[in-house]
Chains A and B, each alone.
Chain A
């Protein structure tokens, strides 16, 4: 495992620990609650990486469109010459 993966794994376990420990008894929760809890844990962990991923892909798109525009302009310039 890389350092990055180790850190993610550690954060993941910490989140699991924090979320699973409180057990206050009042109202009955349906069996789907477990699935909701996992979604909350994942939501916290994944949305950050997802945001970065989206940010990079958008940035990449913008940069590549800027560069491709420049290339097209260069080509037009060359053709005009």
Chain B
């Protein structure tokens, strides 16, 4: 959101019903006159109240039209609840993705009972707030015309069903296709990639394989338009079937190198406790209120949880799908409202995507965070990925104000493992050079050796941060 003050957000241009803008660092949404009837119906039919009660929609307040309107066609201006961090479907854990899909279906179902429907079913309209998936686009509803099909059905299949089916039945990493296809995975592609056994499932056969075929068939034909009628009852039955299909998609976690990290690391229990102790003392010594934290390489979120318990909203990134999934399930189980585990490879973080590179923000654009954690990470960045210390310092100073970083000496058994099958070209890899490089952008305030492990924990403050 940085550098976007007092301007219309470039991600909200598609829908003529309104747009989102920032004024004095607060988010507002202008509702245009064209959407007046639907907005009034949303508020008066009881739908908004019902969704709010079920924790399915973002809460908003109407503000003065005169003071905030951005153009003459404004009907209302609303001020929605602030979301501390915007995440995208290509970053969600498998179970979170399922939750978002089921929430979308539930919203559509409740909307139908109030004679409204979701006119779009974009996964980007869902954000996680206080451990719950919320619809953030208040303008997604329109009045239901009896006997009409669900206009957003194709989008739902592309944004939710196809990626989840591919992640579940082919490979979890196919989630990354969503980075390429901003309007969801094309159904013909999903149909090609899914295994033959998916055709034995009535639902997947219909919603994906047949759907892909009919899309192709009718997009190339000139046909006599038929009077397409679908009863509300029939629509509800399709929603019910979609929900059951999503629920039945599973992803089995097998123990992976990283998700087992805390058990298999060369830390003894004593060293690990010492690390926690030093870490907590560093956090406590920061003499300002921390609102947000990013834990890079968070694994299953051991240290993220410590921050979240201190009321710091923490995003726990890891590139390992299993670790993020384990962390996500833990968050749901304990209803942790301050922790959001996301899949992200810090050596290739989410880029800016969409029209003019401005529809989906890059990781950098979503920062900076008040505090950044880089624990047991730098040896992977420097040794496995050849990232020089100076480049590390340069990146970290762009994403946060405070930094807690762990220096892992080359003699450490985990660092040695990384060197087993490669030539040691890292003659500059030393604690002295690390401190020197970090000092270009950070003031090193504290350091603490973690017992016998020889690793060192540092607390640093960005020299350029206000």
Residue ranges of A at the interface with B (Cβ–Cβ < 8 Å): 1, 5, 8-9, 12, 16, 20, 23-29, 31-44, 46-47, 49-51, 53
Contact of A27 (CB < 8 Å), options: B151, B224, B228, B236: B224
Instruction: Give the residue name and chain of the A residue nearest to B215 (CB).
Output: A34
Q: Which residues of A lie under 8 Å from residue B221 when comparing CB positions?
A: 23, 25, 29
B83: interface (CB < 8 Å): no
CB distance from A42 to the nearest CB of B (A): 5
Could you list some 7 contacts between A and B, CB below 8 A? A8-B202, A24-B223, A29-B225, A34-B154, A35-B153, A38-B210, A44-B234
Q: Which residues of A lie under 8 Å from residue B235 when comparing CB positions?
A: 39, 43
For this complex, into which size category does the number of interface residues on chain B fall?
35 or more
Cβ of B228 and Cβ of A38 under 8 Å apart? no
Residue ranges of B at the interface with A (Cβ–Cβ < 8 Å): 149-151, 153-154, 157, 200, 202, 205-207, 210-211, 213-219, 221-225, 228, 230-231, 233-238, 240-241
Cβ of A34 and Cβ of B217 under 8 Å apart? yes
Q: How far is the CA of A44 from the CA of B240 in the complex (A)?
A: 14
Q: Which residues of A lie under 8 Å from residue B202 when comparing CB positions?
A: 5, 8-9, 12
Cβ of A34 and Cβ of B153 under 8 Å apart? no
Cβ of B218 and Cβ of A50 under 8 Å apart? no
CB distance from B223 to the nearest CB of A (A): 5
Cβ of A25 and Cβ of B210 under 8 Å apart? no
Q: Which residues of A lie under 8 Å from residue B237 when comparing CB positions?
A: 42-43, 46-47, 49-51
Contact of A43 (CB < 8 Å), options: B218, B224, B234: B234
Cβ of B218 and Cβ of A26 under 8 Å apart? no
Contact of A35 (CB < 8 Å), options: B200, B211, B240: B211
Q: Which residues of A lie under 8 Å from residue B231 when comparing CB positions?
A: 43, 47
Q: Which residues of A lie under 8 Å from residue B211 when comparing CB positions?
A: 34-35, 38
Cβ of B214 and Cβ of A35 under 8 Å apart? yes
Q: How far is the CA of A22 from the CA of B240 in the complex (A)?
A: 29
- The verdict on A39 contacting B223 (CB below 8 Å), with A34-B214, A34-B217 known, is no
Q: How far is the CA of A49 from the CA of B221 in the complex (A)?
A: 33
CB distance from A65 to the nearest CB of B (A): 23
- How many A-B Cβ pairs are below 8 Å? 111
Cβ of B225 and Cβ of A35 under 8 Å apart? no
Q: Which residues of B lie under 8 Å from residue A35 when comparing CB positions?
A: 149, 153-154, 157, 211, 214-215
Consensus secondary structure, chain B interface = helix
CB distance from B148 to the nearest CB of A (A): 9
Q: How far is the CA of A19 from the CA of B140 in the complex (A)?
A: 31
CB distance from A11 to the nearest CB of B (A): 10
CB distance from B25 to the nearest CB of A (A): 39
Instruction: Give the residue name and chain of the B residue nearest to A46 (CB).
Output: B237
Cβ of A23 and Cβ of B150 under 8 Å apart? no
Q: How far is the CA of A51 from the CA of B214 in the complex (A)?
A: 26
Q: Which residues of B lie under 8 Å from residue A16 when comparing CB positions?
A: 210
Given contacts A9-B202, A50-B233, A50-B236, 11 further A-B contacts (CB under 8 A): A8-B202, A12-B205, A25-B221, A26-B223, A31-B219, A32-B151, A38-B206, A38-B211, A39-B149, A42-B237, A43-B238
Q: How far is the CA of A41 from the CA of B237 in the complex (A)?
A: 12
Cβ of A42 and Cβ of B222 under 8 Å apart? no
Q: How far is the CA of A39 from the CA of B237 in the complex (A)?
A: 10
Contact of B206 (CB < 8 Å), options: A12, A23, A33, A34: A12
Q: How far is the CA of A16 from the CA of B225 in the complex (A)?
A: 18
Q: How far is the CA of A37 from the CA of B234 in the complex (A)?
A: 13
Cβ of B223 and Cβ of A23 under 8 Å apart? yes
Q: How far is the CA of A27 from the CA of B226 in the complex (A)?
A: 10
Q: How far is the CA of A1 from the CA of B216 in the complex (A)?
A: 29
CB distance from B233 to the nearest CB of A (A): 6
Cβ of A31 and Cβ of B230 under 8 Å apart? no
- The verdict on A51 contacting B149 (CB below 8 Å), with A9-B202, A26-B223 known, is no
Q: How far is the CA of A40 from the CA of B151 in the complex (A)?
A: 12
Q: How far is the CA of A49 from the CA of B234 in the complex (A)?
A: 10
Q: Which residues of B lie under 8 Å from residue A37 when comparing CB positions?
A: 214, 218, 228
Q: How far is the CA of A16 from the CA of B211 in the complex (A)?
A: 11
CB distance from A56 to the nearest CB of B (A): 13
Cβ of B224 and Cβ of A26 under 8 Å apart? yes
CB distance from B179 to the nearest CB of A (A): 23
Cβ of B207 and Cβ of A43 under 8 Å apart? no
Question: Which of B200, B231, B238 has the largest number of chain A CB atoms within 10 A?
Answer: B238
Q: Which residues of A lie under 8 Å from residue B200 when comparing CB positions?
A: 1
Contact of A41 (CB < 8 Å), options: B157, B206, B224: B206
A-B pairs with lowest CB-CB distance, top 10: A50-B237, A43-B234, A34-B215, A34-B214, A35-B154, A24-B224, A46-B237, A33-B218, A31-B219, A47-B234
Q: How far is the CA of A41 from the CA of B228 in the complex (A)?
A: 11
CB distance from B246 to the nearest CB of A (A): 15
Q: How far is the CA of A8 from the CA of B205 in the complex (A)?
A: 12
Instruction: Give the residue name and chain of the A residue nearest to B157 (CB).
Output: A35
Q: How far is the CA of A56 from the CA of B228 in the complex (A)?
A: 30
CB distance from A47 to the nearest CB of B (A): 4
Contact of B240 (CB < 8 Å), options: A31, A33, A40, A46: A46
